[in-house]
Amino acid sequence: MSIAIGDTVPDIPLLVTGGKTLRFSDYRGRPIVLYFYPKASTPGCTQEGKDFAAAIHKFRRQSCVILGASRDSLKRQENFKAKYAFPFDLISDEDEVLCKTFDVIKLKNLYGKKVLGIERSTFLIDAEGVLRKEWRKVKVKGHVDAVLETVKSLNKGEVNSPS
Q: Is 45 part of the annotated catalytic residue set? A: yes
* CATH code assigned to 14-155: 3.40.30.10
Tell me the pLDDT of the chain averaged across its residues: 92
Catalytic residue among 45, 66, 125, 138: 45
Give the model confidence (pLDDT) of 126-146 as tens digits.
999 999 999 999 898 999 999
Long-range CB contact pairs, 155-162, < 8 A, 24+: 155/31, 155/62, 155/63, 159/124, 159/126, 159/132, 159/133, 160/132, 161/5, 161/6, 161/130, 161/132, 162/5, 162/6
Q: Spell out the domain ranges in the chain.
A: 14-155
Give the model confidence (pLDDT) of 141-162 as tens digits.
999 999 999 999 998 887 764 4
User: 147: which strand partners?
Assistant: none
In this prediction the pTM is 0.92
Long-range CB contact pairs, 41-47, < 8 A, 24+: 41/76, 41/79, 41/80, 41/83, 44/120, 44/140, 45/70, 46/80, 46/84, 47/140
